[in-house]
A and B are shown apart, each in its own frame.
Chain A
Amino acid sequence: MRRLVILLLLATTPDPALAQTALPPAPYANRQLEDPALEAKATALMHTIRCLTCQSQSIADSDASMAADLRSIIRERIAAGEDPEAIRAWLIERYGDWISYKPTADPILWPLWAAPVLLLGAGGALAYGRMRRRKGGQA
């Protein structure tokens, strides 16, 4: 966990060589939308978009400038009435599935979504088999 913390610290703090800028952050990087419903939509999306410069966090939890700019873009687009999933698709088109913390429906991810069902099924079968054997009585 210590390593986690170092990792996250390094991840939140923008790489000094790469992300320092004198400009103030974009308008909606750290400003909420007036409409709480829209803001909730935007926040939910931001929590599922991976930060490009820090790699181990969502853009909602990052101090990196690029994350701030992307937050602003997302808020502005949501305010303009765009659908969150459309924005996600727009980003995936540019960065691939990597950018979305929420696994997409890409076939390569089907086994991942099947995992809970398969594991529960296997566990259930194991338990059921045992109970039945017991009821059948081998004593």
Chain B
Amino acid sequence: MNFKKRSLILWIPLAAYLVFLALASLGLNRDQQTVVQSRMIGKPVPPLDLPAAASSRPTLSTKEMADGKPRLLNIFASWCVPCIAEAPVLMQLAQQGVPIDGVAIRDARADVDNFLTRHGNPYQRIGLDERSALQFYMGSSGVPETFVVDGKGVIRYQHIGVIGPQDVEMILEKLREAQS
């Protein structure tokens, strides 16, 4: 009996090793998550008052976002190169009647003005966030990023990275979902 027990123990290393192999092969074939998802989905937008980032648009108070209509909250910056690629897509969405609010991260008013002149201005309001505060409140981890906020001011969806032409349908669908 003692002998039997011992020989079972001897198989433990192999068993542990097989667990490792299984984990490794699963891990190898997974889609690697390279971004951190916000945990704020389903929660209200944190109340923040941001000064105006552009001469031509009013300040952004996130409390005002709960006006009964779903809208996009786009995090961008004049220094952000991918944001330039995103700009025409946002313009297209704005032309289709989607309300978009913007937050310029670590930016300066003159630079934002310049950026909007060159790449278009799809925003209704633009808040200036000199120290990424809104990003930390929203659980955002980079620029650009876009949140879908429903009419009650609740965050419904987070899109990390550039919204490309291929994402427009999906974003519109998310906005429709937020309507209900």
Contacts and interface: CB of A to CB of B under 8 A. Distances in A.
A23 B39 contact: no
Contact of A72 (B79, B131, B141): B131
B172 interface: no
Contacts of B77: 21
Contacts of A96: 36-37, 39
Interface string B32-46: 001011111000000
Given A53-B142, A96-B39, A21 B135 contact: no
B37 A18 contact: no
A66 B141 contact: yes
A84 to B, nearest CB: 16
A38 interface: no
A3 interface: no
Contacts of A69: 106, 131-133, 136
Contact of A18 (B34, B40, B80): B80
A69 B77 CA distance: 15
A106 interface: no
Interface residues of A, number: 25
Nearest to B161: A18
B39 A65 contact: no
Contacts of A65: 106, 132
B41 to A, nearest CB: 11
Contacts of A17: 80-82
Contact of B141 (A22, A53, A93): A53
A22 B137 contact: no
Given A65-B106, A66-B132, A73-B131, A18 B36 contact: no
B108 A23 contact: yes
A95 B108 contact: no
A70 to B, nearest CB: 7
A93 to B, nearest CB: 6
B54 to A, nearest CB: 16
Given A17-B81, A23-B106, A65-B106, A95 B131 contact: no
Interface in A83-112: 91-96, 98-99
Contacts of B130: 23, 26
A59 B132 CA distance: 14
Interface in B67-109: 77, 79-82, 105-108
Contacts of B36: 52, 95-96, 98-99
Interface in A33-84: 52-53, 55, 65-66, 69-70, 72-73
Contact of A94 (B81, B82, B108, B136): B136
B64 interface: no
Contacts of B111: 22
Interface of A: 17-23, 26, 52-53, 55, 65-66, 69-70, 72-73, 91-96, 98-99
Given A69-B106, A96-B37, 4 more contacts: A17-B82, A18-B82, A66-B132, A94-B138
